[in-house]
Chains A and B, each alone.
Chain A
């Protein structure tokens, strides 16, 4: 088995896809760092100072004023209300949720990457893992070895897990190193509040508690990892089924983007909460943002994703070990 995994790793590295992904992450992180830097600068210019309390209070007031305008849709209003009470909570407990520093940037980066960027990068790896063997014809060589088919697929799953972990590692490392150049490398022990519960339009803070930022970051990356694994398994299932890298990419891309769009408009379509792509924003639960559909919780989303994961693993193994190769 270790030999098989080694083989998969060899192919991934020699195909240079991993390097491409690393370069992509590097570029994107640099871009985001610059954007963040610009934004901070503009704030300083506008507000005349960088006291986060003033900024946050200003944000609260701004949002409250927005709430007063009549032409905001109701569900958006709810989100805003929850945002306000959360910001107020941070303010009341004298905790800056966006204290500048590389760890904060890491947190913001993964929160933004979890629903689209990370799945896309996973997609690049996973879509190729099985279907490229079909399109190159090498599957014939692979399956005529004295190795059972399930072991071959299993080695691909392991390679996928390793790649996802590597992607997250690169995201964490690059965002830490690059953003640290500008924002400084400190702030790991900063307290963060989590455990908010959004009930309709109120924020339930009874379960709230603080954890140090490093733990918060680890938790968020853990959730992102899980999202990556689910997306990867789904992609692998598709590539076992369809055997064409391009088609797999197309389908997964379409559903991910559909998810990103749907998140903003499905509040009244309740059964949509069972779609995997609406459950990708796991970090929102840690953060305490209003979920796309009321009633969705971290537990719910994790279970939905887990079911998708298990189903795609079962199906991909069942199909891969049975199917005829022409």
Chain B
């Protein structure tokens, strides 16, 4: 009896030792063929499109605004928007937020090259983007040397990027509605407010003009939301919106979405 158990255990152990040793050998000496790209991508895509008819796919891209930085609840306008839509619509709402705090328009362009982001954008019904604020303000750092000529050069560069972004989005997905959240002026209470407001307005106008070239693309103004009592809606960093501020933005976007759905 004893003998049998011992023999069984021992042979299992020896077998296991051999396998482990093989593994160790592979770990040390084995080098393999270089990476082979996987071909499953397309096949998986078509599979997923079928079962997505009953849900609204929302993909959010952009900077800290879309990420929701400054919202104590951590939702941001994207989260608020989702909650509001769930109340209004019977469809399932699915949100993927790819926003990265501090992202500039050129970084967004880079992100748009990632296959997974592209894959999701293809399936999206609604696309939310916010970009440009970091190009313009550089997180507030640009405030000291703001002047019109500097502004012009930045804006020129930005508009090229924005155009690129829009055409990429449209080429990936022609049916989704794109909402670009416009800029507000967080510095409206500061001394140079006249200059900064002028800049932000011009930026918004030029950007909005650019969106007109594309179908189902809406530039959502936020400048007016924060024009009065800006401090009530700003987070303690005096740059990002606070919970209330985000709520305002979400309400505005939602009203547009509902309008759009009914219009459909």
Contact flag (A, B; Cβ within 8 A): yes
Q: Which A residues contact B (CB, under 8 angstroms)?
A: 5-6, 9-10, 13-14, 18, 48-49, 51, 53-54, 56-58, 61, 64-65, 68-69, 88, 91-95, 161-166, 168-169, 172, 191, 193, 195, 208-211, 215, 218-226, 282, 286, 298-299, 302
The answer to whether B14 touches A209, judged by C-beta atoms less than 8 angstroms apart, is no
15 more CB-based (< 8 A) A-B contacts, given A54-B120, A94-B41, A169-B15? A6-B6, A9-B9, A13-B5, A53-B116, A57-B98, A65-B99, A65-B100, A65-B101, A94-B115, A95-B38, A165-B17, A169-B16, A222-B23, A222-B25, A222-B27
Q: How far is the CB of B96 from chain A (nearest CB, A)?
A: 6
Q: A9-B9, A209-B32, A209-B34 are in contact. Are A223 and B40 (CB under 8 A)?
A: no
Q: Residues of B contacting A224 with CB < 8 Å?
A: 20
Q: List 26 A-B contacts (CB under 8 A).
A: A5-B10, A9-B9, A13-B5, A14-B2, A48-B94, A49-B94, A54-B120, A56-B116, A57-B96, A57-B98, A58-B96, A88-B114, A92-B114, A93-B37, A94-B37, A94-B41, A161-B13, A165-B13, A169-B12, A169-B15, A172-B16, A195-B32, A210-B32, A219-B27, A224-B20, A225-B17
Q: How far is the CB of B138 from chain A (nearest CB, A)?
A: 14
Q: How far is the CB of A87 from chain B (nearest CB, A)?
A: 10
Q: How far is the CA of A299 from the CA of B34 in the complex (A)?
A: 20
The answer to whether A61 touches B6, judged by C-beta atoms less than 8 angstroms apart, is no
Give the residue of B13, B38, B100 whose beta carbon is less than 8 angstroms from that of A169: B13
Closest to A222 in B: B23
Q: How far is the CA of A51 from the CA of B51 in the complex (A)?
A: 13
The answer to whether B12 touches A166, judged by C-beta atoms less than 8 angstroms apart, is yes
Q: How far is the CA of A298 from the CA of B23 in the complex (A)?
A: 14
Q: A9-B10, A57-B98 are in contact. Are A94 and B17 (CB under 8 A)?
A: no
Q: Residues of B contacting A53 with CB < 8 Å?
A: 116, 119-120
B221: interface (CB < 8 Å): no
Q: A92-B114, A163-B13 are in contact. Are A210 and B24 (CB under 8 A)?
A: no
B214: interface (CB < 8 Å): no
Give the residue of A9, A93, A165 whose beta carbon is less than 8 angstroms from that of B38: A93
Q: How far is the CA of A169 from the CA of B92 in the complex (A)?
A: 46
If over half of A's interface residues share one DSSP class (helix, strand or loop), that class is named, otherwise mixed; here it is helix
Q: How far is the CA of A182 from the CA of B12 in the complex (A)?
A: 26
Interface centre among A6, A61, A195 (most CB of B within 10 A): A61
Give the residue of B2, B10, B40 whose beta carbon is less than 8 angstroms from that of A94: B40
Q: Residues of A contacting B5 with CB < 8 Å?
A: 13
Q: How far is the CB of A74 from chain B (nearest CB, A)?
A: 18
The answer to whether A68 touches B100, judged by C-beta atoms less than 8 angstroms apart, is yes
Contact with A along B30-65 (1 / 0, CB 8 A): 111111111011001000100000010000000000
B26: interface (CB < 8 Å): yes
Q: Which B residues contact A (CB, under 8 angstroms)?
A: 2, 5-6, 9-10, 12-17, 19-28, 30-38, 40-41, 44, 48, 55, 67, 92, 94, 96-102, 114-117, 119-120
Q: How far is the CA of A223 from the CA of B17 in the complex (A)?
A: 12
Q: A221-B20, A222-B25 are in contact. Are A61 and B99 (CB under 8 A)?
A: yes
Give the residue of B14, B48, B117 whose beta carbon is less than 8 angstroms from that of A57: B117
Q: A51-B48, A162-B14, A225-B23 are in contact. Are A302 and B117 (CB under 8 A)?
A: no
Q: How far is the CA of A64 from the CA of B101 in the complex (A)?
A: 8
Give the residue of B12, B17, B92, B94 whose beta carbon is less than 8 angstroms from that of A161: B17
The answer to whether B116 touches A298, judged by C-beta atoms less than 8 angstroms apart, is no
Q: How far is the CA of A92 from the CA of B94 in the complex (A)?
A: 23
The answer to whether A208 touches B24, judged by C-beta atoms less than 8 angstroms apart, is no
Q: How far is the CB of A10 from chain B (nearest CB, A)?
A: 6
Q: Residues of B contacting A13 with CB < 8 Å?
A: 2, 5-6, 9
Closest to B26 in A: A219
The answer to whether A94 touches B38, judged by C-beta atoms less than 8 angstroms apart, is yes
Q: Residues of B contacting A162 with CB < 8 Å?
A: 9-10, 13-14, 17
The answer to whether A221 touches B19, judged by C-beta atoms less than 8 angstroms apart, is yes
The answer to whether B13 touches A223, judged by C-beta atoms less than 8 angstroms apart, is no
Q: How far is the CA of A222 from the CA of B24 in the complex (A)?
A: 4
Give the residue of A65, A92, A195, A218 whose beta carbon is less than 8 angstroms from that of B19: A218
Interface centre among A14, A53, A69, A191 (most CB of B within 10 A): A53
Closest to B20 in A: A225
Q: How far is the CB of B141 from chain A (nearest CB, A)?
A: 14
Q: How far is the CB of A107 from chain B (nearest CB, A)?
A: 12
Interface centre among A161, A162, A165, A286 (most CB of B within 10 A): A165
Q: Residues of A contacting B98 with CB < 8 Å?
A: 57-58, 61
The answer to whether A18 touches B9, judged by C-beta atoms less than 8 angstroms apart, is yes
Q: Residues of A contacting B22 with CB < 8 Å?
A: 218, 222
Give the residue of B13, B28, B38, B120 whose beta carbon is less than 8 angstroms from that of A166: B13
Q: Residues of B contacting A65 with CB < 8 Å?
A: 67, 99-101
Q: How far is the CB of A250 from chain B (nearest CB, A)?
A: 28
Interface centre among B12, B13, B36 (most CB of A within 10 A): B13
Q: How far is the CB of A277 from chain B (nearest CB, A)?
A: 19
Give the residue of B12, B23, B31, B120 whose beta carbon is less than 8 angstroms from that of A209: B31
Give the residue of B35, B96, B100 whose beta carbon is less than 8 angstroms from that of A64: B100
Give the residue of A56, A93, A220 whose beta carbon is less than 8 angstroms from that of B23: A220
Closest to B40 in A: A94
Q: How far is the CA of A165 from the CA of B48 in the complex (A)?
A: 44
Q: How far is the CA of A223 from the CA of B98 in the complex (A)?
A: 37
